[in-house]
Amino acid sequence: MTWPVRLHEVRPDGVEIVLRGLARSDRARWDELRRDNLDWLRPWEATVPTGPEPALRFTRLRRLLDRAAREGRVLPFVVEADGVLQGQMQLFDIVWGSRWTASAGYWLDQRATGRGLASWSLAMLIDHAIHDVGLHRVEVAIRPENVSSLAVAHRLGLPDEGFREGLVHVDGAWRDHVEFAITAEHLGSERLVDRLRARDPEQDD
């Protein structure tokens, strides 16, 4: 698995989306996004059962993510739209051996939602994971209350594998999730970004 990687797509409406690694120059924007979206992201971001952990400082976070990526354990992309950092799109829990699988997750600045960025960025990530990295399966677990993210999964045509009780510790408690997953056989030679290009623009993510 190669790192660093830069993924690039231009949507039919001209919006340029880039998935890339976190850079030193992102520090001010990253800190701003995390600060401004604290309450917005709290209901959706994973926590640990033992209680709140201190947030990692930007420099240490960037180094840890970069090391994990070089070791093949994670693909920690940030989402950039028209040159502006808007959030993160990450492939994590990468397992090889007899499974060749991983999970995908993301977050976006609240001000950047409703523009189709989540749908396109997740499509780019899954396409890369299956077609370029060679993974067999990519999973996406979404809380049932997260209507916008459920819509993203349905928009991409990700197969719904059903309800999973208490799957992830989120916002101080074990939370139920709906599991979506797509395999290399299901995707075939198709790319999810091509599914989006074939649709009328939908902005509700």
The predicted pLDDT at position 203 comes to 47
What fold, for 7-197?
Answer: Aminopeptidase (3.40.630)
Q: Are strands 137-142 and 101-108 parallel, antiparallel or unpaired?
A: parallel
The residues spanned by each domain of the chain are 7-197
Please state the pTM of the whole predicted model: 0.95
- Single-letter code of the amino acid located at 76: P
Q: Where do we find the tokens 């949507």?
A: 11
Query: Is 108 in a helix, a strand, or coil?
Result: strand
Say which residues have a Cβ less than 8 Å from residue 160's Cβ, sequence separation at least 6.
153, 178, 179, 180
pLDDT in tens, 34-68: 999 999 999 999 999 987 778 889 999 999 999 99
Q: Where do we find the tokens 């231009």?
A: 10
Which tokens sit at 122? 């997740």
Distance between alpha carbon 194 and the CA centroid of its chain, in Å? Answer: 18
Give pLDDT < 50 ranges for the chain.
202-204
The predicted pLDDT at position 111 comes to 95
The predicted pLDDT at position 205 comes to 58
Spatial distance between the Cα atoms of 106 and 12, rounded to a whole number of angstroms: 23
